[in-house]
A and B are shown apart, each in its own frame.
Chain A
Amino acid sequence: MEIDPFIFRLSIFILSIFIGYYVVWSVTPSLHTPLMSVTNAISSVIIVGAIIAGLAGNYDNIFNTSSIFGFLAISLAAINIFGGFLVTQRMLSMYKKKKKDK
């Protein structure tokens, strides 16, 4: 009997939860705010679904109800991707070590 592909996806999902668990515990508490903004940015990889939805319309009819929701989702996710990564970068560039002048 064949294994349903769903089971493989579920395995990836469960294992990723464990990876997330251990990786996030190793994040230093002083970087918890950047952690939130970067997880925000990466969860916007949902944009791949939005792109598929946006391009689902046919040639005569680029905008149908389904693709309009796709296009809107593209913009929303893009705000998050650009905003999230850039603000994370801005924050991280501020973390500096003590200058060794003394």
Chain B
Amino acid sequence: MISANLSAIFYLISGVLFILALRGLSSPETSRQGNFFGILGMVIAITVTFLSIGSFSSGFVYVLIFLLIGGLIGAFIAYKIPMTAMPELVAGFHSLVGLAAVFVAISAFLNPEAFNLGSPENIKLGSLIEMSIGAAVGAITFSGSIIAFLKLQGIMSGSPITFKGQHPLNALILISIVIVTYLLCSTQSANFFWILLAVSFLIGFLLIIPIGGADMPVVISMLNSYSGWAAAGIGFTLENTALIITGALVGSSGAILSYIMCKGMNRSFFNVILGGFGATDQTSSSLSKEQKPVKNGNAEDAAFLMKNASSVIIVPGYGMAVAQAQHALREMVDTLKKNDIKVSYAIHPVAGRMPGHMNVLLAEANVPYDEVFELEEINNDFANADVAFVIGANDVTNPAAKTDPQSPIYGMPVLDVEKCKSVLFVKRSLSPGYAGIDNDLFYKENTLMLFADAKKMTEDITKNL
């Protein structure tokens, strides 16, 4: 058994290691070392917890058993999961953090003596407030992440679910959470604790259903943030430094990612959260323009254009992930490089379904990360490039964001694809993107539409090169 002071110092050390873990991600070279620091911090925290409890009773065996069960499941998932499914995986993991926070809070509420928080029905007021916050945020994280997971997995439709009176209802529930927390603290009644949990689960569910599939980058980042605040709430309850530090880190990390994603779409955070984007005008705008002529090409035309180019910029989007075309794409690029054609990749901040989604997929396909550029880094290069190869992206290339103040995406930063000498657009059909708006790029003189599955088209082009 080690003293409370000593264990507090070890918890501080693991907190610092967690900071270093995030710090390592500033560049791919240091990132693996960072991940190691994270693991080390976790090992220290768990070991110290065992040592501080000290009594190695038979309960200890069960702790190890449950730890092992969870560990095996986690390891299995980590090795099996395809990289295209990362958004679902992360959403699923968030839900587990949320649920774990809820369970720890329940445990602490039922047996406060074990945590030095007082006795049942006589829990220290401060602890009870902290516990309620941890439990409520945890519950919101859990149910919200479940919905996000179902939407990303395609089990639930990605289209926003809205109904009349949605916002007043949500506001009412949020107010009731505050009231129930107050009643819980003043009466210490277990009933209010259960009501608090139930209401929090409900609001998490209601908050995420009106948000459309393509806004998932914001939602995932936001839930990431929530899971951190939940952990911090529990950290205050348990008076545990490692948990407080980690909660704060994760909370601010998720908040920053949400901000970056919102900026990438030129939308305010509240605009995304209130949801319902893309639910209107979907049909009217696309029908009117469907008649315009487009230039329709095949793999041979595309190969011809690229063979005669000296530089090609590739713009991947969610469609590439859906078609699992990243490997085929890399093979095509290899062939291009053999012909001394300069190739780079341009990634829009909100391409894909989560922050950095495209980068991971390209890395999986062995694309060196120094050929992959962010929007600001590469946007000026389009004017000097011969061919832009847009694969599975749509709205992030739409010039209407710069020219048409009426467009719902006006003001959103976009890739200046239209400045290229020619644009190749791989798409399954002319249907508009998630924003429900037509892309003027389809009808430009120098655009060649390649209607096919992204993977198949890329393979065919490679054959023709």
Contacts and interface: CB of A to CB of B under 8 A. Distances in A.
Contacts of A73: 99-100, 103-104, 107
Secondary structure at the A interface, as helix, strand, loop or mixed, is helix
Interface in B60-81: 60, 62-63, 66-75, 77-79, 81
A57 B59 contact: yes
A51 B243 CA distance: 13
B187 interface: no
B409 to A, nearest CB: 20
A86 B75 contact: yes
A27 B78 contact: no
Secondary structure at the B interface, as helix, strand, loop or mixed, is helix
A76 B70 contact: yes
Contact of A75 (B66, B228, B242): B66
Contact-residue size bin, chain B (C-beta under 8 Å from the other chain) = 35 or more
B38 A41 contact: yes
B250 A43 contact: yes
A46 to B, nearest CB: 5
Contact of A95 (B28, B42, B53, B253): B28
Given A48-B45, A48-B46, A90-B78, A35 B253 contact: yes
Nearest to B225: A39
Contacts of B78: 82-87, 90
Interface stretch (B282-290, B309-317, B370-378, B435-443): B370-378
B97 A46 contact: yes
B252 A21 contact: yes
B38 A38 contact: yes
B224 to A, nearest CB: 6
B231 A46 contact: yes
Contacts of A50: 100, 103-104, 107
Interface of B: 11, 14-15, 18-19, 21-23, 25-28, 31-32, 34-35, 38-39, 41-42, 45-46, 48-50, 53, 55, 57-60, 62-63, 66-75, 77-79, 81, 83, 86, 89-90, 93-94, 96-97, 99-101, 103-104, 106-108, 110-111, 113-115, 126, 220-221, 224, 227-228, 231-232, 234-254, 256-257, 260, 347, 349, 354-357, 359-360, 363-364, 366, 368-372, 374
